[in-house]
Structure 1
């Protein structure tokens, strides 16, 4: 099959890494995949990620979608200017399937499929997507969480038969690892982290949407437990420093710029995703597949990923007391951490591997083409 992915741009979000993972899997199975976008945002990590698409065999199709933040008029004009160019490039690639990953770009897919009689599918990667005059319903929609599936019915008018629930998946080769104690200690020494204290970790954007303020305030309420916080990601340094000082955590926290998270997962004893809002929360299943007991806020994806009190904990969004209770419980109980981590690894490996996701996607493509 020839499959065309469409997105507004490539950034450092889970959507961009998801497209890369899916496309690599499809190409490895003999399919041809092209990426149509405005290119990367002006960010070194995004530019590096964009280069990975080309390196891994994608055909790259750039159209003049705006990649920087701007007002709605300029954004709308860029989409209209891109229309004839986009249609021409789609015709040249001649895809069997168009797969939209940025709903506002669905106008291109809708017009092309209306002309050709073909069909297209859109993956909705987050809830609460603002309605846009260029957004068009697809023939099929993919929801990445149960909450999102319900929203597509209630908000966008899809019928249940049009929606496929396909969870995001990750590479078992990359994340299903069991590092030795020696390796863990070496990594801790390289990072100048304490060897004996349990490590509470987070990976992702360091901002309010991800609930970093919630996490730090909850940690500040945990007394008589000796632990260390490790944050891996990028964000507003001044905002973060003010939080650290406000909650008097400067002696028990380490912050690292975003990088390959595997070495950090290797040393975390507990992982927390305290987001106020999520699409799916890919980092949770990365941590789970690495055998880390995980605590999540009860936003999108949490109930699909975690069986509460079995392979992790789910706390009420923004509930500091509940979050601190679960953190304390895991930090103080080595056996509970071990048991939950084992169950988390098994559950994530059996349910959220990239192979499972790609096979379900290929099956959907075949159904669309029948």
Structure 2
């Protein structure tokens, strides 16, 4: 079976993990990529480095480019058995859905978003398109049970047999506890003291990730006299604004900005952290939670979307309502003062993640789904 996969621009932090999953999901079938973004050397170079025979086409950034190329996409899609949209279900999934109906092709849409409570004209239009896609699409894949529940609730839609929950999956060979020497090298490089617990954040910093809430929680901990460092892995155009906010709170000495780190190096950072924190306002899954547990570091995170699927509250970590800086600080503090609790949560969390989110098992679920479709062609 030949598959055309349409996806949006890929962030700097996501090239390796995105295609690692692609190669696992589609390992039994031929697939080509259509990327709704500008030409990206990182993508091309990575695929070449993996010696994969994949055709890649970049359509350019933005909705106008997508609409401009629509007639050619219709012609191109005729040569494929299955059309697949990876994330960005609005607008990319909606467009691919329309093309699939024109050509009478099977269509799968993987939903990679999380409901927003904002009300703007743009968001209202997206919701109408989303409702159409959810009710008319052939197969819809969600990243987590809670993401599916929240999106269906927002659209006032009941569960349907063509809805599937398949988590992104974690490569256990890539995420594991680093050696003491590897951790010590990082400690020495960034002058991290042993008596200062390290709160780690591994994300692309932007408003939806709740960085301001983490800063407010850090201020509360600082006023209590707690010693700690916050290490942030990732970069974005919002970094300067967050640094200004940190400076206003007189917390500059408590925060270390490491910037983007290669995916294959992240296990060292998770192993360095004493606690991983993810205070997002919404997450379809939240990969850094499972990645952290595989490196034996416990988590405190928002009780939203796929995070809820990965953390059992007060058993493997702590869940806090999004936006509650005071409660976030309380849960972080509980872990700071109790190393044994951190070890217990880390042990339980790793066992839970290994049982639920193995990338190879996820790949088998996709294979079963594709094989079912192939049998019907």
Q: What TM-score do you get using the length of structure 2 for normalisation? A: 0.85
* Contact 1:197–1:226 under 8 Å retained in 2: yes
* Contact 2:77–2:83 under 8 Å retained in 1: no
Task: Please state how far the C-alpha of 1:367 moved relative to its aligned partner.
Answer: 2.3
Is the alpha carbon distance of 1:139 and 1:268 closer, same or farther for their aligned partners in structure 2, counting shifts above 3 Å? same
Higher relative contact order (CA 8 A, sep 6+): 2
Runs of 5+ unmatched residues, structure 1? 69-74
Q: Which moved more, 1:179-188 or 1:139-148?
A: 179-188
What SS does structure 2 have at the residue aligned with 1:173?
A: coil
| Aligned with residue 60 of structure 1, among 45, 51, 55 | 55
Residue 99 (1) aligns with residue 84 (2): yes
Task: Please state how far the C-alpha of 1:253 moved relative to its aligned partner.
Answer: 1.9
Task: Please state how far the C-alpha of 1:95 moved relative to its aligned partner.
Answer: 2.7
Report matched runs for 1:262-281 at 5 Å.
262-281=267-286
Number of aligned residue pairs: give it: 353
* Contact 1:54–1:60 under 8 Å retained in 2: no
Q: Give the Cα–Cα distance (whole angstroms) in 2 for the partners of residues 88 and 199 of structure 1.
A: 53
* Contact 1:185–1:195 under 8 Å retained in 2: no
Q: Which moved more, 1:53-62 or 1:312-321?
A: 53-62
| Aligned with residue 248 of structure 2, among 238, 246, 249 | 246
Runs of 5+ unmatched residues, structure 2? 117-122
Task: Please state how far the C-alpha of 1:78 moved relative to its aligned partner.
Answer: 2.6
* Contact 1:35–1:58 under 8 Å retained in 2: no
Is the alpha carbon distance of 1:214 and 1:124 closer, same or farther for their aligned partners in structure 2, counting shifts above 3 Å? same
Is the alpha carbon distance of 1:134 and 1:214 closer, same or farther for their aligned partners in structure 2, counting shifts above 3 Å? closer
* Superimposed CA distance per residue, residues 152-199 of structure 1 (whole angstroms, 9 cap, x where no aligned partner): 534185742110011111211000x22232332122112332244221
Is the alpha carbon distance of 1:322 and 1:99 closer, same or farther for their aligned partners in structure 2, counting shifts above 3 Å? same
Report matched runs for 1:28-177 at 5 Å.
29-40=27-38, 47-56=41-50, 57=52, 59-62=54-57, 64=59, 66-67=60-61, 75=63, 77-91=64-78, 94-101=79-86, 102-103=88-89, 104-128=91-115, 130=123, 131-132=125-126, 136=133, 137-154=136-153, 155=155, 157=157, 159-175=159-175, 177=176
| Aligned with residue 325 of structure 2, among 320, 325, 329 | 320
Q: Give the Cα–Cα distance (whole angstroms) in 2 for the partners of residues 85 and 158 of structure 1.
A: 35
Is the alpha carbon distance of 1:364 and 1:78 closer, same or farther for their aligned partners in structure 2, counting shifts above 3 Å? same
Is the alpha carbon distance of 1:80 and 1:241 closer, same or farther for their aligned partners in structure 2, counting shifts above 3 Å? closer
Q: Give the Cα–Cα distance (whole angstroms) in 1 for the partners of residues 105 and 82 of structure 2.
A: 8
Q: Look up the match of 1:303.
A: 308
Q: Look up the match of 1:71.
A: none
What SS does structure 1 have at the residue aligned with 2:169?
A: coil
What SS does structure 2 have at the residue aligned with 1:167?
A: coil
* Contact 2:107–2:138 under 8 Å retained in 1: yes
Task: Please state how far the C-alpha of 1:117 moved relative to its aligned partner.
Answer: 3.4
Task: Please state how far the C-alpha of 1:244 moved relative to its aligned partner.
Answer: 1.5
| Aligned with residue 290 of structure 1, among 264, 289, 295 | 295
Coordinate RMSD, CA, aligned:
2.4
What SS does structure 2 have at the residue aligned with 1:342?
A: helix
Task: Please state how far the C-alpha of 1:352 moved relative to its aligned partner.
Answer: 1.4
* Contact 1:105–1:134 under 8 Å retained in 2: no
Q: Give the Cα–Cα distance (whole angstroms) in 2 for the partners of residues 26 and 303 of structure 1.
A: 24
